[in-house]
Amino acid sequence: MLERITRLSEEIADFQSADPAAIERFRIQVLGKKGAVNELFRAFKAVPKDQKKILGQRLNELRDKAREKLVTLQAALEAHAVDSPKIDDLTKPGIPVCLGSRHPISLVQNQIIRIFSRMGFGVAQGPEIEDDWHNFTALNLPAHHPARDMQDTFFIEKNPDRLLRTHTSSVQIRYMEQHEPPIRILAPGRVYRNETIAAHSHFQFHQVEGLYVDKGVSFADLKQTLQFFAKSLFGKSKIRLRPSYFPFTEPSAEVDVYWGLNSEADHRITKGTGWLEIMGCGMVDPNVLENTNIDPKTHSGFAFGMGIERIAMLRYQIDDIRLFFENDVRFLSQFASESQTPIPK
Ligand code: DAH
């Protein structure tokens, strides 16, 4: 009997198969009701008493070994099945890969960055929680200046003031404080104003700020830069600069692009004029340069700032700003992923 146990034990150890049918046959032959192990247990009954202890032990070991082997074989089989699913028809169409989509604000922001990067502008960032100096004072808006009322501010703390930045112009100051000219940066980001939420206004939105400071930067450079931008983003090459006022620029202007009056929608969005306002701009005020230790006698610069929501609404014909912040997938999934968006010419 001992011999049979030993032989069977070797057979069990040697058995290898990745075929489910062969493994099942092995199970029946070894562990089945009429299998080899049970047969040995039946024969065990007739074993003389003095051998029972040792043979009983060996038999139990044999049964455990057979069970373990079976578990190992079956586990290997399952792992294999997961690795290589059965391909029943190679001509079937594949499972489509879902690319997802990007938020329209990110899409437009990246397009703007790409256009300006072709003219050598890099990207700079600043904090959304600002102090009075960077958001107002250094930008030529001293305390009690009436222009502060133009932007309803969310204050976090008073004296010293901590507030949510009302525009990305604060990044101009931070950048100029830490870098020497030539400076050519774009600062995209979120800004906050205490405004009622409605179809065309929100308490949070996004802006892109631009700043160029060097020796001999002129108003003509500003106009040319913005013209290239309008042509690249909208495909419209006619722009005009209307005199305006911003405390941080002198002279200041409002930029309009000529949108045309070809459709009913054109009439509606341009209020019948054909012109559309897209941003504010101007030559950096000498006081602002001085506030950041840049000498206005040797250096000059231009700056501009635009709202991203406004541009996205024009581009995608969206008539309600609230859609950008609701994160409704039915809205968001309409926008292509970045790789599918053609790079503007
Ligand atoms: N900061 C202005 C705003 O939020 C936008 C702006 C206008 C930025 C003119 C500029 C500029 O840099 O030159 O309305």
Per-residue pLDDT of the chain (345 residues; tens, 9 = 90+): 888 888 888 988 888 888 888 888 988 998 888 888 888 888 888 888 888 888 888 889 988 988 898 888 888 888 776 666 667 788 888 888 877 889 999 999 999 999 999 999 999 999 999 999 999 999 999 888 876 776 689 999 988 889 999 999 999 999 999 999 999 999 999 999 999 999 999 999 999 999 999 999 999 999 999 999 999 999 988 999 999 999 999 999 999 999 999 988 889 888 999 999 999 999 999 999 999 999 999 999 999 999 999 999 988 989 999 999 999 999 998 887 665 444 444
Nearest CA to ligand 1 atom 7: 280
Ligand 1 atom closest to the Cα of residue 282 is 13
Which of 112, 149, 169, 193 best tests ligand 1's pocket when mutated (most atoms within 8 Å of CB)? 169
> So what's the pLDDT on residue 338?
60
Nearest CA to ligand 1 atom 3: 167
Of 237, 222, 205, 225, whose CA–CA distance to 311 is shortest? 205
Measured in Å, residue 38 CA sits from the centre of ligand 1 at 90
Return d(Cα 2, Cα 113) in angstroms, integer.
83
Q: Which residues pair with 301 in a beta bridge?
A: 213
Return d(Cα 324, Cα 172) in angstroms, integer.
26
pTM of the model: 0.72
> So what's the pLDDT on residue 304?
98
Give yes or no for residue 282 CB within 6 A of ligand 1.
yes
> So what's the pLDDT on residue 339?
52
> What are the residues whose beta carbons fall under 8 Å from the beta carbon of 281, sequence distance 6 or more?
222, 226, 241, 249, 252, 253, 254, 255, 302, 303, 304, 305
> So what's the pLDDT on residue 344?
47
Largest CA distance in the chain: 116
Of 36, 37, 32, whose CA–CA distance to 59 is shortest? 37
Q: For the chain, how many helices (H) and strands (E)?
A: 13, 10
Give yes or no for residue 305 CB within 6 A of ligand 1.
yes
Give yes or no for residue 255 CB within 6 A of ligand 1.
no
Helix (H) or strand (E) holding 280: strand 275-284
